[in-house]
C-alpha cells in the first residue's frame, strides 16, 4: 500500500470520504472498525464520539465498535487487544497517554490490522501505525500565546495555567506551544501550572487552590479546555474575582465547544482556541482509500481557528458573533 506522507488540512480527504460513503469490504460485508475512545471527560469528547457514531454507520458501509475507556490507560490497551482478537478490519485509537504503545501496535501489525491514530499523538515511530488524523496542540498553544501578546500590547502578565490530563499529547502540546511564546516575553511570569484533568471539577479544584496561593497576584488564567474554564469561572465567581472583558482577569480557553463560544460571545472568555472534534469523516476517507488501494495522506491535520470576544480585533483570531455561533456544527 502506498502512503502519501503529507501534513495537510482534512477538508480534501473528508470530501473524498463523502463521495465514497457506501464503501464495503471486498466480500460485500460491512467494514468492521474498532474505536478506542479516551472517555467522556468533556463536552468536546462527547462531540467527537457523536461524530464517529454519525459517520461510521451501516448506511455508510461500516460496523463500529466504540469503547469508552474512561480515561484509563490500561483499559484502553485492553480494548485495543480485544479489537485484535476480534479481528477487526481497522482499529482507531484516540490515545489517553502518548507513551507505551509500541507493544500493542506491534501486535496489531503482526495480525495484519491497519491502525489509525486519531485526535492525539503518540511517541511511537510512525512506521508502527498506518495513518494519523488529528489536531495540532502545539500550534494551538502558540496561537493562545500570540493572541495574549497582541492583546497585552507590552503590559505585564502574571499567569496561572490549568493543564489537561497528565501525559496527554493535547496537554503537552498546548503547554509547550504557549510556553515557547511566554519565554520570549521578559515581563510574563507563569506563577503556577497544574493539571485539571480536562474536567470541570478539576478546573474548579485547581483554581480554588490557585486563589488561596496567589490571590491578587494574577491577571491571566489559561485553561487547556472549556470544561476546565467553566470550573475556573465557578471558583472565581465564588471568590468575587472578576474576569472577562469587563473584569480584572484575562481568561483563555481551548476547544471552542458551543457553550465555550457562548461565553466568548458574552465576553466572559477573552479568547478560545479551536480544537476540532469533527474528525471521523477524515478518518473514513483514509479507510476508504485503503480499501480502494489508493494513496492516502498518512498525516492529516484537521482545520482549526480561534475566536475572541466582541470588541476585540485580532490577527490571530476571529471576532465572535451570534451568526458564527449559530452556524457551528458542534
Grid coordinates of 205: 479544584
d(CA 90, CA 34): 6
Q: How far apart are CA 190 and CA 210, in angstroms?
A: 12
Kindly give the residue spans of alpha helices, DSSP state H, lying in the chain: 11-19, 43-55, 73-85, 102-110, 137-152, 169-182, 200-214, 226-239, 258-265, 280-292, 322-326
Over its length of 330 residues, how does the chain's per-residue pLDDT go in tens digits? 333 233 333 333 343 343 344 455 555 799 999 999 999 988 899 999 999 999 999 999 999 999 999 999 999 999 999 999 999 999 999 999 999 999 999 999 999 999 999 999 999 999 999 999 999 999 999 999 999 999 999 999 999 999 999 999 999 999 999 999 999 999 999 999 999 999 999 999 999 999 999 999 999 999 999 999 999 999 999 999 999 999 999 999 999 999 999 999 999 999 999 999 999 999 999 999 999 999 999 999 999 999 999 999 999 999 999 999 999 888
CA geometry: angle 17, 22, 28, nearest 5 deg: 130
Backbone angles phi, psi at 160, to 5 degrees: -115, 135
Is residue 111 within 8 Å of 84, Cβ to Cβ?
A: yes
Number of Cβ atoms within 10 Å of the Cβ of 313 = 9
Classify the phi-psi angles of 299: left when phi > 0, otherwise alpha if psi is within -120 to 50, otherwise beta.
beta
Distance CA 91, CA 12 (A): 22
CA angle centred on 15, ends 14 and 20, rounded to 5°: 95
User: CA-CA distance, 32 to 291, in Å (whole number)?
Assistant: 12
119: nearest Cα among 168, 70, 84, 161:
168
Amino acid at each position: 500500500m502506498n502512503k502519501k506522507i503529507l501534513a495537510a488540512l482534512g477538508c480534501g480527504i473528508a470530501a473524498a470520504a463523502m463521495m465514497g460513503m457506501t464503501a464495503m469490504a471486498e466480500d460485500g460485508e460491512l467494514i468492521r472498525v474498532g474505536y478506542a475512545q479516551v472517555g467522556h471527560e468533556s463536552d468536546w469528547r462527547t462531540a467527537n464520539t457523536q461524530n464517529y457514531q454519525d459517520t461510521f454507520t451501516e448506511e455508510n458501509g461500516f460496523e463500529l465498535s466504540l469503547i469508552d475507556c474512561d480515561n484509563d490507560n490500561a483499559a484502553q490497551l485492553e480494548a485495543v487487544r480485544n479489537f485484535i482478537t476480534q479481528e477487526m478490519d481497522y482499529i482507531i485509537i484516540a490515545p489517553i497517554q502518548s507513551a507505551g504503545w509500541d507493544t500493542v501496535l506491534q501486535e496489531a501489525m503482526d495480525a495484519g490490522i491497519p491502525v489509525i491514530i486519531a485526535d492525539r499523538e503518540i511517541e511511537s515511530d510512525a512506521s508502527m501505525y498506518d495513518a494519523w488524523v488529528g489536531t495540532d496542540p502545539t500550534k494551538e498553544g502558540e496561537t493562545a500565546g500570540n493572541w495574549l501578546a497582541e492583546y497585552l500590547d507590552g503590559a505585564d502578565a502574571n499567569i496561572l495555567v490549568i493543564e489537561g490530563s497528565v501525559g496527554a499529547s493535547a496537554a503537552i502540546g498546548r503547554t509547550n506551544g504557549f510556553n515557547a511564546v511566554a519565554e520570549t516575553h521578559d515581563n510574563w511570569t507563569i506563577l503556577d501550572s497544574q493539571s485539571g484533568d480536562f474536567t470541570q471539577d478539576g478546573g474548579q479544584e485547581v483554581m480554588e487552590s490557585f486563589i488561596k496561593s496567589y490571590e491578587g497576584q494574577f491577571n491571566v488564567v489559561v485553561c487547556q479546555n472549556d470544561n476546565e474554564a467553566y470550573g475556573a469561572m465557578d471558583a472565581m465567581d465564588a471568590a468575587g474575582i472578576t474576569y472577562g472583558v469587563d473584569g480584572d482577569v484575562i481568561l483563555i480557553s481551548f476547544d471552542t465547544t458551543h457553550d465555550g463560544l457562548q461565553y466568548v460571545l458574552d465576553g466572559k472568555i477573552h479568547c478560545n482556541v479551536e480544537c476540532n472534534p469533527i474528525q471521523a469523516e477524515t478518518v473514513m476517507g483514509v479507510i476508504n482509500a485503503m480499501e480502494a488501494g489508493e494513496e492516502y495522506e498518512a498525516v492529516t491535520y484537521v482545520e482549526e481557528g480561534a475566536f475572541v470576544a466582541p470588541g476585540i480585533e485580532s490577527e490571530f483570531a476571529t471576532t465572535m458573533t451570534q451568526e458564527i455561533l449559530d452556524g457551528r456544527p458542534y
